[in-house]
Structure formats: C-alpha cells, structure tokens
Amino acid sequence: MEKIVLLGDEAVALAAVQAGLSAAYSYPGTPASEIMEYLLRLSEGGKNYRAEWSVNEKVAYEEALGVSFAGKRAMVSFKHVGLNVAADPFINSAITGANGGLVVVVADDPGMHSSQNEQDSRYYADFARIICLEPTNHQEAYDMTREAFDLSERFGIPVMVRLVTRLAHSRSSVEPREPRPQNEGRPYGNAQDWTLLPANARRRFKVLLDHQNSLQEYSEETNYNQLVLSSKGKKFGVVVSGIAYNYFKEVSAYLPLEPSYLKVSTYPFPVKKLHQLLPMVDEILVIEEGYPFIERFIRGVSDISGKTIRGKLDGSLPPSGELTPDLVAKALGLPERVGLKVTDIKLANRPPQLCSGCPHIDTYKALNEALREFPRGNVFSDIGCYTLGALPPFQAIKTCVCMGASISMAKGGADAGIYPSVAVIGDSTFAHSGITPLLDAVYSNTNMTVIILDNGTVAMTGTQPSFGTGEPLDRLLIGLGIDKNHLKVIVPLPRNHQENVKIIKEELDYEGISVIIARRECIQSLGEKKRSPK
C-alpha cells in the first residue's frame, strides 16, 4: 500500500483500525491525545468502529475491557499518568485475561515536556506480568500495534504498547497493510474467569503465571528483539531499547567498529539473547529511554561477575530527562560536537502563557483580590491551562499534584485548619476526578470554597469535549448536595471584576461548603468553532 505521513500516535491509531478494532476509548493527555483525535478523524469517513473520549482513564479502561469481554477488539490509550488512574482495572485485567484483543497504549513523557513526572510504564507491564511492546520508529509503531492485538488473543492477556513523546509526536512515513475485519461470533468471556472472587482469582493468577514461559519464548523468538553480533567489535557491547535505538544507530556510524548489540523492543526481557551476548563482551552499555529498567534487570538476574555494566545507574547516562543523540554519543566515547553560540546577549525565556483574553486571567485577578484580606488562606489547584496561574503575574495557586487533587487537598487543608481553603479546578478535570472528593467534602460539610473554571472544553490538550460543563454541571452540583444559595455562577470578564470579587468574598466568608462556577468559554475553542461552522 502507498506510504503516508503520520505522527507516531497516528500510526498506532491506523494500525488499530486495520487490525479490526471495534471500539477505542481515551482521555486527553499529552503526548497521547492524537491517537484518539486520529481515530475520530478516520471515523468521520464512516468507519464502523466506535471511538470515544471517556470521562477518565479508569472508565476508558473498563469500557475497553467490556468490549474485550464481548469478544471484540478494543484499544485504550492515555498518557503515562493516566495509567495510574486506570491502574486498578489494568492490573486486574491481567487476571481476568482478555477475550477479544485488548491493547493498552501508554505514552510516556521522559523529560516532562508536559507532565508532572516521568514514570516508566514498562514497570507497570512487568507488574501486571503482561507483554510490553516498545516500538523504535513509526513503521514499528504500526506493525507492533497490529501484532499487539494478535498477541492479546493468542495469549489471552492485555498487551501494552509503550510510546514516548519523541515517537508519539514525531512524523514520518508509514506503509500500512491490508486491513483485517472485526471479530465476529466470538463467544463472551467465561464467567468463572471474569468474576474475580478469591477462588477464581487464585486460579486465574496461576494461569497467568503458567503463561509466563510462553510469553518469554515469544520474546526470545520475535524479530523485534534483535541480537547483532560483530566479529570485530569484541569486548564492548550495547543493549538498547525503544527510541534509544535510533540515537545509537545515528551515532554508532562514527565509531571505529560497530559494537555487538541487542535491540530490545518487546518484554518480558529476552534473557536468552542476553546470555548469547554476555560471553562475547567484557563491558555493556545499556541505553534506554526512561528509568533504568533493563539495566537493573541485567544487574539483577544475570551472571555478570567480572563484567562492567554501564548506563543510568553509574552515571554514563543521565538518570533523568530525555536522551538525545549527543548524550548517547558521549556515553559511547565519541567526541562532543557543537554548533554556534550566542555571545553578546542574554536570551530571554519564553514560557507558555495563558492566551490573551483567556477567562482564567479574569478569574485569577478576582480571586487574588478577594483573598487579599486573608493572608493565611490557600489555593489548591489542579491540572489544566489554569495551572499557569502559578507563574507571574498571578502566582495565585500553591499546589498542582494530580487530577482532582485540588478538592481533596483543600478538604484536607481545611481539616488541618487552613482558612479560607480554596480549590480551583477546571470543568473537565472536575468530571474526571473532582466529583467524588466533592461528595466527600459535602458529607463532612467542610468549610471550603471550590471554584470550577468552566471553559467548556479540555483546553490544554487541544479543546476536546468536556463532560461536566454548562447547565448539566449546575444540576450535578445540586445533586451532590451543594446548597443552592452557595452555588454561584460568575462570568469572568474585566467588566465584571468588582462584582466577581464581591461574590468570591461572600463565599469565602460563608462557613460551609460553597461552589463558584466561573463560566466563560476558552477563546481557542471559540475560535475553532468560528473557523469550522458545523
């Protein structure tokens, strides 16, 4: 078939559709959002699969699991921290097993381009004892995603595809293959396997453990794990995985001799292949994007006495941040190369900023003024564009931890005596993980104020639809037990400033729980609607 230009994320999406996908679910998060965006775009052409944003990653995962139970092929995709939210169904789905192919695509963000940590999802796959595929390039992202569905059905387990930012958000050409039809007529999952009562769960866990040998065999045999032995470059060898392989191949051309190397793209780790490499070399450099997962494995399980293992643990490569071809070149002992330098001026930084005209600007201005009389107060915040309220000129918020934490932490803060204790959370983040902690605070009638920034969209990741916006949000809040007299709606605009300050102050003064909705649409999503009249 003809080659097409695709993002790594898009290659995964296309592969899933052509692997006979019946349904896919996701929650927006960089760098994974484009997987669902592309599935949605492809389905505009009348494709017969479902592709939906879900309210959060746990829900997305469970929806996909339901599809798998029904015998159809399902995919769920999110960023690395999304897997924390979905960890419960994820781990347990390795015990129930998959019926229809179930593929979990996780996009890690080494270097934290737009994340609060750089956790390595390979540990999760290992923890759940399932297969993890780690493509190195776009074609592999396509091919391996297609294979992931087959593997899932062959072994009856969910299969993880691990991406990293540099692959998810890089474009190259991909050659697709003939599509496969969706599953038809597969029976439902077996009730005894899928009902995790202790007796069933014990039996199922044993099945999973018994499977480990076949997973290991697969990993030893697949062409994606490649051992290349060099007759000349003895003594020194390389074990390299995922995107790091690209950096290694980019710079190894400059080495006098290409070393023997083991390229790892599927886990469980191919131990036998490592044992073929070990006798050939005295020293191994492990190059991997993320945590020293392979490096620790090699140090832990292999007979490496007398050999030097280098990598992130001994400082040959940095323990955090993203790899680059230059870092890999340095670790291989190649000379540093540099380009030009700015000599005479200081380069001012240009950090991301709230768009001019953004509703959050007016909310923060009003909130800051209302809080001026309360020096002991605190504003707990959450994840979204409004997290930029931490930076000057606002410096309005003091925390940002994970989705929904603003409300739970504000309750904890209030319990510890903080007054006023304020939570600031976006509408979509509220739907994702804010509803349950608010219910908790209502139940305890905590003295706190929750400000929901209702801009009608998931703005930061590219204006995807929000589940908790507008009038339905108001009704939801009443339903949760918020007193009508302390549920206020303000419109964050410069001309409403004085009135908004007054309303916020009144609610800060109120002893009990109040919710203020600051409602005005994100100007980016407004602009998009104007550009494409639908």
Partner 1 sequence: MKYDIILAGVGGQGILSIAFVLDNAALEEGLFFKQAEVHGMSQRGGAVQSHLRLSDKLIYSDLIPLGQAEMILSVEPLETLRYLEYLRPEGVIVSSSTPYTNIPDYPPLEEVCREIKKAPVHVLIESEKLAKEAGSAKAQNMVMLGAASIFLPLKEESLKKYIQILFERRGDQIIQTNLKALDLGRQAALASRRE
- Residues of this chain that interact with ligand SF4 (CB under 6 A) are 354-355, 358, 360, 385, 455, 459-460, 522-524
Q: Return the structure tokens found at 345.
A: 């001026």
Pairing label, strands 266-267, 131-133 = antiparallel
Rounded to a whole number of angstroms, the distance between the first and last alpha carbons of the chain is: 33
Comparison of 252 and 525: residue with beta carbon closer to ligand SF4: 525
Q: Is 524 in the site for partner 1 (CB under 8 A)?
A: yes
Task: Say how far apart CA 147 and CA 235 lie, in whole Å.
Answer: 35
Q: Segment contacting partner 1 (CB under 8 A): 163-171, 286-294, 411-419, 441-449?
A: 163-171
What are the residues whose beta carbons fall under 8 Å from the beta carbon of 265, sequence distance 6 or more?
A: 133, 134, 135, 136, 140, 144, 222, 224, 225, 241, 242, 245
What are the residues whose beta carbons fall under 8 Å from the beta carbon of 1, sequence distance 6 or more?
A: 175, 176, 177, 178
* Among partner 1, ligand SF4, none, residue 340 binds (CB under 5-8 Å by kind): partner 1
* Among partner 1, ligand SF4, none, residue 3 binds (CB under 5-8 Å by kind): partner 1
How far are the Cα atoms of 11, 23, 73, 266, 382 from residue 100, in angstroms, in the given order? 21, 11, 5, 21, 36
- DSSP notation for 346-374: --------PPTT-HHHHHHHHHHHHHTT-
**In 10 A of CB 281, how many CB atoms?**
20
Helices 87-96 and 198-221, axial angle in degrees (round to 10)? 90
Alpha carbon 67 to its chain centroid, in Å, reads 21
Q: Segment contacting partner 1 (CB under 8 A): 42-50, 64-72, 161-169, 192-200?
A: 161-169
Of 463, 469, 500, 514, which lies in the binding site for partner 1, with binding defined by CB under 8 A? 463
Q: Is 331 in the site for partner 1 (CB under 8 A)?
A: no
* Among partner 1, ligand SF4, none, residue 466 binds (CB under 5-8 Å by kind): none
Q: Is 326 in the site for partner 1 (CB under 8 A)?
A: yes
To ligand SF4, the closest distance from the beta carbon of 492 in angstroms equals: 10
To partner 1, the closest distance from the beta carbon of 353 in angstroms equals: 5
Comparison of 396 and 448: residue with beta carbon closer to partner 1: 396
Comparison of 266 and 524: residue with beta carbon closer to ligand SF4: 524
Task: Scan residues 106-135 and list those touching partner 1 (CB under 8 A).
Answer: 113-114
* Among ligand SF4, partner 1, none, residue 455 binds (CB under 5-8 Å by kind): ligand SF4
Q: Return the structure tokens found at 213.
A: 């040998």
Q: Return the structure tokens found at 229.
A: 């032995």
User: Which of 369, 414, 378, 380 shows the shortest CA–CA distance to 513?
Assistant: 414
Q: Is 235 in the site for partner 1 (CB under 8 A)?
A: no
Is 262 in contact with 225 (CB distance < 8 Å)?
yes
Comparison of 300 and 351: residue with beta carbon closer to ligand SF4: 351
Tokens 């191994």 locate to 284
Q: Is 30 in the site for partner 1 (CB under 8 A)?
A: yes
Comparison of 26 and 524: residue with beta carbon closer to ligand SF4: 524
To ligand SF4, the closest distance from the beta carbon of 286 in angstroms equals: 40
To partner 1, the closest distance from the beta carbon of 177 in angstroms equals: 18
Residue type at 12?
V
Residues at the interface with partner 1 (CB under 8 A):
3, 5, 30-31, 33, 113-114, 166-167, 169-173, 243, 245-247, 249-251, 324-326, 329, 336-356, 358, 385, 388, 459-463, 524
